[in-house]
Amino acid sequence: MSRLSKQPIAIPQGVEVNKDGLILKVKGPKGELSRNFNDTSISIEIQEDSIKVDKAVDTVFSRALVGTYASHVINLLKGVTEGFEKKLIVEGVGFRSEVKGKNLEMLLGFSHPVIMEIPEGITVTAEKNVITVSGIDKERVMQFAAQIRAKKKPEPYKGKGIRYEGEIIRRKQGKKSA
């Protein structure tokens, strides 16, 4: 059994949690999130100041899911109180990025600019060579950051491309001249 689900999850001050059937709704200072937990083998109980995630039926499948569901609940609570942020670094000569309206426009060494539409509920800022993706839904923030990175992955010889902040790119030596 998961360590996350063994202890109750504390509800932060100013956060309102409701359960309507299989849908868990969380409302906080940054916004409102809801998630459909459509598996009846996991029970989510809301107490006065905590949430308890536990197995309703002891099966291999429910033991595998109980930690995942507890993690989803923690992410919902953190999203409506603090929010999530992912930074990407654009490296390369002539590589630039800027936000124009609801689009992220990047010059990545192609013959054309790469234009990506920013999804609803996510804010993107581009300053110098850093793109910051932020929002309250962790899955949407990380998915959009991964889509940006996929446009030009960092290459191992010079490190050109888009990488996450703190990501280490293993460098290769390249050709040796005689």
Q: How many CB atoms lie within 10 A of CB 13?
A: 9
Residues spanned by the domain of 16:
9-81
**Do 26 and 69 belong to one domain?**
yes
pLDDT tens column, 102-124 = 999 999 999 999 999 999 999 99
Mean pLDDT of 41-55: 91
The better pLDDT of the pair 5, 54 is held by 54
Q: 95 with 73, same domain?
A: no
Q: Are residues 97 and 141 in the same domain?
A: yes
pLDDT in the model for residue 1: 54
